[in-house]
């Protein structure tokens, strides 16, 4: 299998972790030798309820027995997608009440950017330095990391960058700006939280000049920061909210949500303003609905805050210089990329799954399932500190 993996499946790095997965359950993934690995990554913030959560699995199975794909997005009334969009609306501010479902996060970003252009008639998009919003051409155009996109130019025109958390840059948002798009907590950059009322100030500036504010919650969303969506922590409501990853409970999804007034613009001029074959797929939507329902009906969001405190308490070591992030979206910083690499690789040998962040080589990603137990969290932290003791 390993040889076939490298021969037939395209890779995007020279050294993938290449663990051969046999099965997964709860907070653990098992390899083909049945070795258990405690999962501190959750499929990169995607497996909100851990692996094979019974409610998610049964929602999928029930839907499998009813119907699979029947029609392109938005034509037929399909209960799972309607239920999901309605439940999102119920738990979001009134102005975020209509959702468009996509197959991935990056597609939802594309849809949100298009909607902002369509709504304002403007072309300028402002994003943040070190931002990551996905890998299709539009999302890559607003990636704030030139080295990773240079090879794919030309990309979208009329894109400018501001420095996240720098209020003095907000003057660059003007009446020419269609939208400002930000991650509520910058992910790839190193789990950077907004500070000093930054998001509130961005919101105010957008309102002054008639630009739309898009918040990308593909990573912090769906309970991970202790609130259903990260923006609830920072007193700032976006015009367009983008979610994905953890919304699917382990299934591929993206979504963008806005007001009815905004969203209805996709219906004409031009007609079919954003279309997709599989977006809102009934099996995926059923899994997402079960996931969202569990997150809002359980105390998992409260637990995320308590679990953050537990990680901060148990991950104390001279080689951990800082722990960034909120809830169970945490990054432990070491003094060097070498140390971080060592920890991530040795952790796998020691039965713990860790991972990197895209643009911050000193960061160790800690984004376990929200359902991880306190004991499992403490055990994982001990594996990390034991490895650091050997370095």
- Where on the chain is the footprint of ligand PLP (CB under 6 A)? 104-106, 109, 132-134, 183, 187, 216, 218-219, 244-245, 254
Residue 136 to residue 105: CA distance in whole angstroms: 10
Closest approach of Cβ 344 to ligand PLP, in Å? 17
Minimum CB separation of residue 117 from ligand PLP in Å reads 19
Q: How far is the CB of 213 from ligand PLP (least distance, A)?
A: 15
| Best CA proximity match to 262, nearest among 320, 182, 179, 140 | 179
Phi, psi of 84 (to 5 degrees): -65, -50
Please name which of 186, 131, 174, 178 lies closest in space to residue 157, comparing C-alpha atoms. 178
For 324, the token pair is 């960034």
Q: What is the nearest approach in angstroms of ligand PLP to the Cβ of residue 106?
A: 3
**Of the two residues 367 and 387, which places its CB atom closer to ligand PLP in the complex?**
367
Minimum distance from residue 9 beta carbon to ligand PLP (Å): 17
| Nearer residue to ligand PLP within complex by CB, 226 or 244 | 244
Between 253 and 377, name the residue whose CB sits nearer to ligand PLP: 253
Are 301 and 91 in contact by the 8 Å Cβ rule? The answer is: no
Token couple for 358: 């895209």
3-state DSSP assignment of residue 110: helix
Answer whether 160's CB lies under 8 Å from 126's CB.
Answer: yes
CB of 386 to ligand PLP, least distance (A): 29
Closer residue to ligand PLP, CB minimum distance, 184 or 319: 184
Return the DSSP state at 186: B
Task: Return all residues near 166 (Cβ < 8 A) that are at least 6 apart.
Answer: none
d(CA 234, CA 232): 6
Residue 29 makes CB contacts below 8 A (sequence gap 6+) with 19, 21, 23, 36, 37, 39, 51, 353
- Residue 349's contacts (CB-CB under 8 Å, 6 or more residues apart) are none
Given the complex with ligand PLP, which of 47 and 388 has the nearer CB atom? 47
Compare residues 130 and 133 and give the one whose CB is closer to ligand PLP: 133
Q: How far is the CB of 382 from ligand PLP (least distance, A)?
A: 28
Q: How far apart are CA 101 and CA 278, in angstroms?
A: 9
Nearer to ligand PLP, 80 or 248 (CB): 248
Residue nearest to ligand PLP according to CB distances in the complex: 105
């Amino acid at each position: 299998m390993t040889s076939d993996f490298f021969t037939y499946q395209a890779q995007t790095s020279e050294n993938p972790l290449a663990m051969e997965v046999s099965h997964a359950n709860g907070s653990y993934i098992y390899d083909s030798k049945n070795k258990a690995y405690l999962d501190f990554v959750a499929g990169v913030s995607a497996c909100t309820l851990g692996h094979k959560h019974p409610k998610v699995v049964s929602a999928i199975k029930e839907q499998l027995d009813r119907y699979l794909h029947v029609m392109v997005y938005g034509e037929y009334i399909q209960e799972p997608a309607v239920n999901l969009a309605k439940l999102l609306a119920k738990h979001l501010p009134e102005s975020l009440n209509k959702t468009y479902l996509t197959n991935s996060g990056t597609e939802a970003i594309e849809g949100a950017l298009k909607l902002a252009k369509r709504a304002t008639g403007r072309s300028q998009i402002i994003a943040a330095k070190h931002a990551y919003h996905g890998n299709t051409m539009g999302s890559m155009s607003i990636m704030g990391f030139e080295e990773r996109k240079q090879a794919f130019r030309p990309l979208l025109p009329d894109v400018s960058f501001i420095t996240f958390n720098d209020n003095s840059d907000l003057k660059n948002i003007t009446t020419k700006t269609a939208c400002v798009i930000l991650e509520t907590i910058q992910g790839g950059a190193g789990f950077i939280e907004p500070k000093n009322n930054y998001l509130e100030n961005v919101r105010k500036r957008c309102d002054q000049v008639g630009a739309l504010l898009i918040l990308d919650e593909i990573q912090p969303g769906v309970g991970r920061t202790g609130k259903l969506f990260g923006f609830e922590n920072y007193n700032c409501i976006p015009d367009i909210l983008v979610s994905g990853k953890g919304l699917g409970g382990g299934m591929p999804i993206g979504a963008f949500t806005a007001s009815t007034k905004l969203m209805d613009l996709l219906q004409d001029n031009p007609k079919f303003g954003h279309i997709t074959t599989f977006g809102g797929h009934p099996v995926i939507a059923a899994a997402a609905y079960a996931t969202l329902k569990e997150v809002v009906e359980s105390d998992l969001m409260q637990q995320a805050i308590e679990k953050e405190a537990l990680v901060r308490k148990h991950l104390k070591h001279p080689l951990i210089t800082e722990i960034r992030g909120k809830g169970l979206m945490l990054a432990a910083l070491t003094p060097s990329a070498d140390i971080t690499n060592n920890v991530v690789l040795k952790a796998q040998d020691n039965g713990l799954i860790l991972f990197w962040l895209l643009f911050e080589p000193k960061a160790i990603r800690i984004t376990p399932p929200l359902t991880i137990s306190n004991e499992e969290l403490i055990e994982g932290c001990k594996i990390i500190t034991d490895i650091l003791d050997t370095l």
